[in-house]
Chain A
C-alpha cells in the first residue's frame, strides 16, 4: 500500500455543462489550471489524501459529465457517495437556475446522508458575473447547503470546498449521524480507525470528557 489513510470518502462533482467541474477536480489534484479542458464523457476520477482534524482522509472524486445527454449514465454513479460538490458557473444564470434539478436528482439517488456543498465557480470572471453571492447564499440557506465561491483558474477556495465537505462528513461520523458500517454511505475506513475510535471513546468516556458525555 502506497499511502495510508484513516478514511476513504467517495465524492461527486455535479452541475451543468461548462461550469468547470473537471477544472475544479484538476486543480484539486494537480494544483494547476487545465487550459484545454474538453467535455467529460460520462465520468472521470481522481483522488487525493487530505488531512482534516488530525485524520488523513482519502477522497476518491468522481467528476461527472454535465451534458444532459449523459444524465442517465451519470445518475448511476450517484449511489454510495459520501459528499458532493454541486457546481454552477457564476457567469451563467442558466447553470444557477438548473441547480434545483441537480439537487432533487442528488437527494433522490444518493444516500440520504450525503453532504452537498454548493460551489459557485469562475469567481475570477467578476466582470461577467450573472449570479450574485447573496442570491446564491440565499439559495444555499434555503436548501441547507454549505456555500462557497471558487475559481478553478486561480485555485481560490478549491481545496477549501473539498476540505469543508470532508470536515462535515467527519463530524457526522463522530457524532454517529452517519453509520460507517452502512455500505451505501460511501465511506471506507481502515481497520485501525475502528480500533482507535473504540479505544479513544473508552478512554474518553472513562475520564468523562468526551463529546458524548457533555450535557
Chain B
C-alpha cells in the first residue's frame, strides 16, 4: 500500500514537472471548455461566528472550546432557539406527517442541517422546489396572517394570494384550510418547546442557566405567559421575536467574549490542521486564510515573481466583487483601475489574457447593467484560479514554507497542552502531533513531512537543555512542567527568575565580571550540542511510558558523554587508570555542580 502510494506520489510529481507550466491561455481554455472544472468550494477556515455556527465540523470544535470555558449553555441555547425557530416555521405553516421526527432530528443536529430539513419538508408539501425564496415569503405571510385570522379561516383574497404564489390553485384551498387547523394543532407543541427551552436555560437554578438582560427576559416571559393564559389569542410572532432577541443577545456575547479567544485556541489550531492536511484542501482555502496567504505570497515570490501579479489581481478582483452596494459609477472606476493595471495593452504588469477574454471584460465594464459590471472579472478570476492552482498550489503544499506554516500551527497546539503533563507523555504527544492525527493526512504525508524536515526541526529544538529542563522540574517539589520549554529552547534564556537563567555570571556596574557561582573549570559549550544527539538517540530507544527510566538513562548517557569530552579536553592526565578514575570523579563533580545550579535552582540558593 505504502509502496503504491509512493509510486503514485512519484507519478504525480513527475506529472507536475511535465505539466509544470500551464499558460494563461491553457487556463482560459480549461474554463471555456469545462465550467465544472471550476467549482466554488465552501471555504472551511471560517473566522466569522455565523459561519462557525453553521458548519458542523468546526462547530464541534467551538463547542469543545466553550465547554472548556464553561460557556456551553450559550451555544446550546443558540442552537436550540435556532431549531425552535426553524421547526416553528415549518410546523406552523404546513402539516407534515414526519413532523415530530424531523423535529427530533432538529434538536440533535446543528443548524445547518435544520435548514436543509426545512427546505425538504417544505418542498415536499408544495412541490415547487425551485424557488425557496418564494416559499419563505409565503411562510412569512402565513405567519403574519395567522395572528389576524387565527380563529376564522382565511379570506378568499388571502387564499387567492397564497394560491397564486404557489401556482397550485386546486390543492391550495384545501391546504390553507388544513393549514389553519394544523396551526391550532401544533400550537401547544410549539409552546411546549418554548417552555422547555425556557426551563432549560432561563430558570436560575438549572444546570444550563444563562443570563439575559431583564428586558429580553421580560419580553420572553410575557410572550410565553400570554400564550398560556389564552390559547386562542396567542401571538406566536411575539414569541419568536422574543426568542430571536435573546438569541441575538447570546450571539453577541459569544462573538464578543469567546470568538477571538477561540480563534487563538488550540481547538481552532487543531481544526486548522485538519483542514490543511485534508485531502480536499484547495487553493481557495489558502487564498481566504490570511495567515496561509502570507506564506503563499512568500512562496510565489521565491518561486516566480511574475505569478505574484496574478495573486494580486485575484485579491483585487475579489475585493471588487464584494462591493455590491456601490453605484455603477464607482464600480466602473474601480473596474477601470483593475483593468488598467492588469488587462490593458499598456499595462505594466499585464496578465497576458487572450484578446477574447480582454474584449469580453471591456464589454462588460462598459455595460449598462450593474450586474454585468460586477461580473466583469468573474471569468478572469476563474482563469487565474486555475492558473495558480495548476502551477503553484501543488508545489506550495509540498514546499518548505507550507510545512513551516503547519508546524507553527502545531507548535501552538503543543503550547496549549496542559502544563502538568508528565514528561514522557508530552514527548510522545508532540511527536505524534507532528506525524499528524491518524490517517487523515494527505498522501504519504508523514514521509514527506519527515523529508521536509518538520520532524527534524522539532527534534532539533528538543535539545539536551530542554531535556534537562524536565529533570529540573521533576526533581523540584512541584511537578509543573512548562511544555513550551520542550519545543522552544529559547524560552530557557528568557526565564523570569534571574537564578534560573542559564547564565554563569554578570557584569557589574563597574564592569567587573562576577561569577554566579564558583566553578573550578568551565565546560566548553561545544560539548553540549555534541551530547545532544546521543541524548536524543538514547531517549528514543527507551520506553517512553516510564519517565523515571528516561531520567536515569538520560542522565547516565548524557553524563557519560559529557564527562568523556570534558575529561579529554580539560584534564590532561597521563594514561594512568588510577588517575583517570580520579579525573572522572572530578569531572563528575563539576557536572553535578553545574546541573545543580542550572537545574535545581529554587531549592538551591547559592
Which residues of A approach B to under 8 Å, CB–CB?
Answer: 1-3, 8, 10, 38-39, 41-45, 47, 58, 60, 65, 69-70, 72-73, 76-77, 79-80, 176, 181-184, 186, 188, 191, 194, 197-199, 201-203, 205-206, 208-210, 212-215
Residue ID in chain A nearest B264 by CB atoms: A184
Q: Considering the chains assembled together, what is the distance between the CA atoms of A59 and B315 in angstroms?
A: 19
Given contacts A202-B528, A208-B506, contact A38 B294 (CB under 8 A): no
| 13 A-B contacts (beta carbon < 8 Å) | A38-B341, A70-B319, A70-B323, A76-B290, A79-B290, A80-B294, A181-B408, A181-B490, A183-B409, A183-B411, A201-B493, A202-B525, A208-B507
Task: Tell me the dominant secondary structure on chain B's binding face.
Answer: helix
Which residues of chain B in 296-316 are interfacial with respect to chain A, using CB atoms and an 8 Å cutoff?
A: 297-298, 301-302, 305, 312, 315-316
Is the Cβ of B294 less than 8 Å from the Cβ of A186? yes
| Interface check B537, CB cutoff 8 A | no
Rounded to whole Å, the gap between the CB of A79 and the closest CB of chain B is 5
Q: Considering the chains assembled together, what is the distance between the CA atoms of A12 and B94 in angstroms?
A: 54
Instruction: Select which of B295, B330, B490, B505 is within 8 A of A208 by beta carbon.
Output: B505
Q: Considering the chains assembled together, what is the distance between the CA atoms of A150 and B53 in angstroms?
A: 46
Rounded to whole Å, the gap between the CB of A65 and the closest CB of chain B is 8
Which residues of chain B in 320-364 are interfacial with respect to chain A, using CB atoms and an 8 Å cutoff?
A: 320, 322-323, 326, 330, 334, 337-338, 340-341
- Which of chain B's residues have a CB closer than 8 A to the CB of A206? 504, 522, 525
Q: How many residues of B contact A (CB 8 A)?
A: 59
Which residues of B approach A to under 8 Å, CB–CB?
Answer: 47, 264, 269, 290-291, 294-295, 297-298, 301-302, 305, 312, 315-316, 318-320, 322-323, 326, 330, 334, 337-338, 340-341, 404-405, 408-409, 411-412, 415, 453, 457, 461, 463, 487-490, 493-494, 501-509, 513, 515, 522, 525, 528-529
Rounded to whole Å, the gap between the CB of A72 and the closest CB of chain B is 8
- Which of chain A's residues have a CB closer than 8 A to the CB of B305? 2
Rounded to whole Å, the gap between the CB of B265 and the closest CB of chain A is 12
Which of A70, A203, A206 has the most chain B CB atoms closer than 10 A to its own CB? A206
Pairs A-B, 3 closest by C-beta atoms: A42-B319, A176-B494, A208-B505
Rounded to whole Å, the gap between the CB of A192 and the closest CB of chain B is 12
- Which of chain A's residues have a CB closer than 8 A to the CB of B493? 176, 201, 205, 212
Is the Cβ of A194 less than 8 Å from the Cβ of B338? no
Is the Cβ of B503 less than 8 Å from the Cβ of A212? yes
Instruction: Select which of A42, A184, A213 is within 8 A of B316 by beta carbon.
Output: A42
- Which of chain B's residues have a CB closer than 8 A to the CB of A194? 461, 490
Is the Cβ of B457 less than 8 Å from the Cβ of A191? yes
- Which of chain B's residues have a CB closer than 8 A to the CB of A43? 315-316, 319
Residue ID in chain A nearest B404 by CB atoms: A188
Give me 19 other A-B pairs in contact (C-beta within 8 A), A1-B302, A43-B316, A198-B489 excluded.
Answer: A2-B305, A8-B298, A38-B337, A39-B337, A42-B316, A43-B319, A58-B298, A69-B330, A72-B322, A73-B322, A76-B290, A181-B490, A188-B298, A194-B461, A194-B490, A208-B507, A209-B513, A212-B493, A214-B507
Is the Cβ of A198 less than 8 Å from the Cβ of B490? yes
- Which of chain A's residues have a CB closer than 8 A to the CB of B453? 191
Is the Cβ of B319 less than 8 Å from the Cβ of A44? no
Is the Cβ of A41 less than 8 Å from the Cβ of B316? yes
Is the Cβ of A42 less than 8 Å from the Cβ of B291? no
Instruction: Select which of B269, B315, B490, B505 is within 8 A of A176 by beta carbon.
Output: B490
- Which of chain A's residues have a CB closer than 8 A to the CB of B312? 44-45
Rounded to whole Å, the gap between the CB of B468 and the closest CB of chain A is 14
